[in-house]
């Protein structure tokens, strides 16, 4: 089994040769730091709106090296953060419930926008819009499913947004051992993320965006992105560094680099697929506190992810995606419990990556017209579609064009900063220890009540549900 090497997705398509580094000081109209989905979608929409713009993207490693080339491949309309918190936000655009509904509507349309661009630009990323299933495998999880359904209804969202499936209806789609039911959300597509980010990088460079790889930005200030090779001077400098943000001066407590780990099976036999079903290519998650996410890949495997070791002291990052053996074993156990037939295929690869988590778990799109500094991120693991919407929004904000996107409630939202170490490390590690213990208790118990341990964890962390 391979471990690390960025991700299975990159190894499956082949890591591309590096593009050239920034050769020296340069000037541009817009400088974008980070070539993941946020940076590349921003460049894409800016260039389409104004082909004459001189855009430079600076990338420390290679385009798609970060979470964008390592994720679970859910192009999901899921809201990155809490509805009630966005509705109450006074620092962003204070638009209350209607604003949050509009943000959610825009996210749903974004799933189709990503699919539309793939077709229009000839990006073959195995995208299939099959919706997403969140399954319950204990009485407590089942009770939470029903609470989530109530919550959706309370927000005025109808059956178009989410539907409850009983055990048999779920089994018609996917046979998950021990599952008692599921919620089905139609607005989600499965994708091979490295194919998407690599295709996007090709499209933007083909349109004339200068993308320099192997170029680390060491400082960002109004009108300037500093690198060891020289400065890029531009009236607009956009920080699109998500889970890596803590490494930049002054940003140590802005976004917590949360780790997420994945495994992928070998190709499953036709017999195994007959046992499992999964013909609709829905993405699949569960209602556990330390939840999992999975997809049936375009090449006939199951890729499954979960938390693993959640956080490294001092916002430490690992750069090649290597996963601890204990995490591989833990994810492997969950996979075999849900799909015993996968034991025959074994595991081919494990990897991990970091996503950016703000202290209040709500994402931000920000542009200060006085300084020309902007940023977007803090998607808390829901960034594949959200980065497209954020990129379109940043493009409108840079061009100073008021649009329905520039008044969404996440625009200008300010999250509090994270606690200093060691409180941050102790808090996050303790939180996930609580969640794992709660999951164990709930699966051993028939009670529909959510474990007190998990409730305590939710209260401490502020994680939205």
- Shortest Å distance, C-beta 344 to ligand FAD: 25
Nearer to ligand FAD among residue 37 and residue 86 (C-beta) = 37
Helix (H) or strand (E) holding 226: strand 224-227
For 378-419, the DSSP string reads --TT-HHHHHHHHHHHHHHHHHT---TTTTSTTBT--PPPPP
Residue with CB nearest ligand FAD? 383
Nearer to ligand FAD among residue 239 and residue 436 (C-beta) = 239
* Torsion, Cα of 372, 373, 379, 384 (10° steps): 60
Contact 381, 103 (CB under 8 A): no
- Shortest Å distance, C-beta 377 to ligand FAD: 5
SS3 113: helix
- Shortest Å distance, C-beta 45 to ligand FAD: 14
For 67-103, the DSSP string reads GGGTS--EEE---SS-HHHHHH-SSS---HHHHHHHH
Both structure tokens of 287: 């209602």
- Shortest Å distance, C-beta 357 to ligand FAD: 10
- Shortest Å distance, C-beta 139 to ligand FAD: 27
- Shortest Å distance, C-beta 450 to ligand FAD: 24
Both structure tokens of 351: 């990897």
Other CB atoms within 10 Å distance of the CB of residue 418:
20
Burial 85-103 (b: 16+ CB within 10 A, else e): bbbebeebbebeeebbbbb
Nearer to ligand FAD among residue 34 and residue 181 (C-beta) = 34
Nearer to ligand FAD among residue 39 and residue 409 (C-beta) = 39
Nearer to ligand FAD among residue 92 and residue 383 (C-beta) = 383
Short-list 326, 294, 286, 296, CA closest to 310: 326
Nearer to ligand FAD among residue 373 and residue 453 (C-beta) = 373
Nearer to ligand FAD among residue 74 and residue 435 (C-beta) = 74
Determine if the peptide bond prior to 422 is cis (ω within 30°). yes
Contact 282, 174 (CB under 8 A): yes
Half-sphere exposure at residue 237, Cβ-oriented, CA atoms within 13 angstroms: 18
- Shortest Å distance, C-beta 222 to ligand FAD: 17
Residues 364 and 386: their CA atoms lie apart, in Å, by 10
Nearer to ligand FAD among residue 72 and residue 450 (C-beta) = 72
Sites of contact with ligand FAD (CB under 6 A): 33-39, 58-61, 65-68, 70-74, 76, 216-217, 240-244, 248, 260, 262, 293, 305, 352-355, 377, 379, 381-384, 387
């Amino acid at each position: 089994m391979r471990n690390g090497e960025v991700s299975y997705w990159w190894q499956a398509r082949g890591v591309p040769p590096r593009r050239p580094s920034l050769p020296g000081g340069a000037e541009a109209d817009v400088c974008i730091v980070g070539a993941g989905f946020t940076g590349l979608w921003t460049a894409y929409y800016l260039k389409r709106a104004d082909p004459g713009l001189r855009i430079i993207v600076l990338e420390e490693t290679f385009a798609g090296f970060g979470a964008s080339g390592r994720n679970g491949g859910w192009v999901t309309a899921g809201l990155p953060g809490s509805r009630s918190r966005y509705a109450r936000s006074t620092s962003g655009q204070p638009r209350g419930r209607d604003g949050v509904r509009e943000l959610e509507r825009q996210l749903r349309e974004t799933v189709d926008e990503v699919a539309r661009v793939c077709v229009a630009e000839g990006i073959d990323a195995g995208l299939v819009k099959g919706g997403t299933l969140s399954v319950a495998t204990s009485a407590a999880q089942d009770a939470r499913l029903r609470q989530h359904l109530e919550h959706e209804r309370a927000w005025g969202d109808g059956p178009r947004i989410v539907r409850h499936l009983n055990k048999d209806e779920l089994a018609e789609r996917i046979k998950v051992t021990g599952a008692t039911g599921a919620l089905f959300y139609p607005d989600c597509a499965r994708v091979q993320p490295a194919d998407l980010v690599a295709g996007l990088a090709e499209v933007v460079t083909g349109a004339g965006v200068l993308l320099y790889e192997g170029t680390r930005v060491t400082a960002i200030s109004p009108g300037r992105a500093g690198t060891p090779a020289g400065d890029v001077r531009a009236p607009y400098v956009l920080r699109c560094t998500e889970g890596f943000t803590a490494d930049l001066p002054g940003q140590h407590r802005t976004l917590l680099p949360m780790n997420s780990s994945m495994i992928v099976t070998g190709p499953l036999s036709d017999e195994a697929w007959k046992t499992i079903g999964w013909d609709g290519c829905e993405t699949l998650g569960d209602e556990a506190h330390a939840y999992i996410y999975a997809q049936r890949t375009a090449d006939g495997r199951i890729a499954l992810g979960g938390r693993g070791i959640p956080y490294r002291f001092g916002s430490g990052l690992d750069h090649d995606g290597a996963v601890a053996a204990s995490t591989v074993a833990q994810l492997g156990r969950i996979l075999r419990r849900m799909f015993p037939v996968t034991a025959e295929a074994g595991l081919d690869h494990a990897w991990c990556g970091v996503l950016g988590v703000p202290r209040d778990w709500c994402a931000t799109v920000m542009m200060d017209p006085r300084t020309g500094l902007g940023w977007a991120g803090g998607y808390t693991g829901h960034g594949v579609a959200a980065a497209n919407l954020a990129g379109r929004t940043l493009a409108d904000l840079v061009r100073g064009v008021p649009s329905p996107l520039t008044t969404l409630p996440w625009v200008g939202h300010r999250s509090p900063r994270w606690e200093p170490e060691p409180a941050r490390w102790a808090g996050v590690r303790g939180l996930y220890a609580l969640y794992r213990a709660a999951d164990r208790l709930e699966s051993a118990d028939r009670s529909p009540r959510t474990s007190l341990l998990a409730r305590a964890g939710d209260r401490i962390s502020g994680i939205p549900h």
